[in-house]
Structure 1
């Protein structure tokens, strides 16, 4: 359990065996997060959702109120506009040096991606990775449930793979003009913007909140010169038959295309538009079959455009 939380709890409470207790009395953040709706930036909103799930699971399924409160504290912080950092393994009572080193290395890798802008570019993927890392740290400290440790570790690694994929879209060199002295000017096509639209269960309709996100996206795209190429990819969760989900993801992708047009994005604003449907493949959050998951019910809109870059090159003469 987290050291600083242990020190704040009544001795009599810590001495008893795990039982259901009044969360509102001893664990007010657990009580608060139960009814908390995701708010704030996309990253903080994702953290609220992730820590809420962890907190409720620890409290209601494991009767581990101390770790439930620890996760809830972070979720409440995020809802109030303060972004909590991932757990520092050194702050936890993990005796195995190899496990501690593994956790520290994993955290360093995650923070390196965060420092490249992951919390802005792929906020929900980043929030998912942070929460799964905290789950791994917590379970590793407890140390008596190897299957739980392995599950949290695997979920973290899967989350990081998804985050890397979201951060590193394919790049294609389009033009290589002449070299000027020792500098080479190249124009590449790469991602310039990305937006994700989320859908209600078994629906292809776009609600007011998601339409507002697309409205801002359209304004940003109109300010980009030259025109961009748009990729619109529809997804579903794993609830329902695969063939039905493929058709549903197509309907969602086309709904987004229609909404972009309705909000004033015309053919003159982009040079190419590609609409794809992936059904229940390409999950944002790995789940078993038949699971309802909001983060998987989505359409991802990626805009790629020309970006001019200058790089230093070595010029040889003969």
Structure 2
């Protein structure tokens, strides 16, 4: 049968006579294929960040560009921007604020308040307004955004943290203590967040708690200071082109800043950054971004 395929017969004979050469070629081919697959999955992973958001084309982050003898980029905005936009820019369907907290210690409290185990959390904790969940989609296992975070000292967490803190027990109604200062009750449960997102939060505390919490390092009324952890979110209306609406919103923000803090206006500029661009922005997502150029080079190599 093989005599009908002389080239195949010759190849098999050569491979048998030179096993080292055969191993080198086959190994090199396998390594090349493995590297190509790794590059493919790396590029695909980074291009998929937050693409599962159903309203991705309309979701934007508000960011700041400052000029103090040079240009500096800040991922945050002044905290009054959120409520001011809601009051004075009613054409925006949804405006939301979130304030991330870093290096928090979370202690689990027992059913009657007795101290339990303590956990160090890096970037998973944030104070958020209920509207945050109207901008960004999460899957709720228990509770709703409108009710779960309506009142101070309430919190929502992901299934991963619920298992970490409470094991198989029902987390609803249980209490947590942050940094020995703040006690919150769990009122909602979310599905775990995906790996391909730039929103690392898994423990969400009601924004209303900030009015009573003096250790957050956050000033809620001043336009003069900007923390990179204070994020403003908007959902653009579907009534027009997103780019044009974003430009209008940036102008609106400048006008509001001029009215509320004219002394600092010459040094501040607002930008409206689409969520789809956040993962690729070195200015507003430092330490977590990947450039389009890098992905293009890796694609050409693979």
- TM-score by length of structure 1 reads 0.26
Instruction: Pick 1 or 2: higher relative contact order, CA cutoff 8 A, min separation 6.
Output: 2
More strand by share: 2
Rg bigger for which structure?
2
- TM-score by length of structure 2 reads 0.27
More helix by share: 1
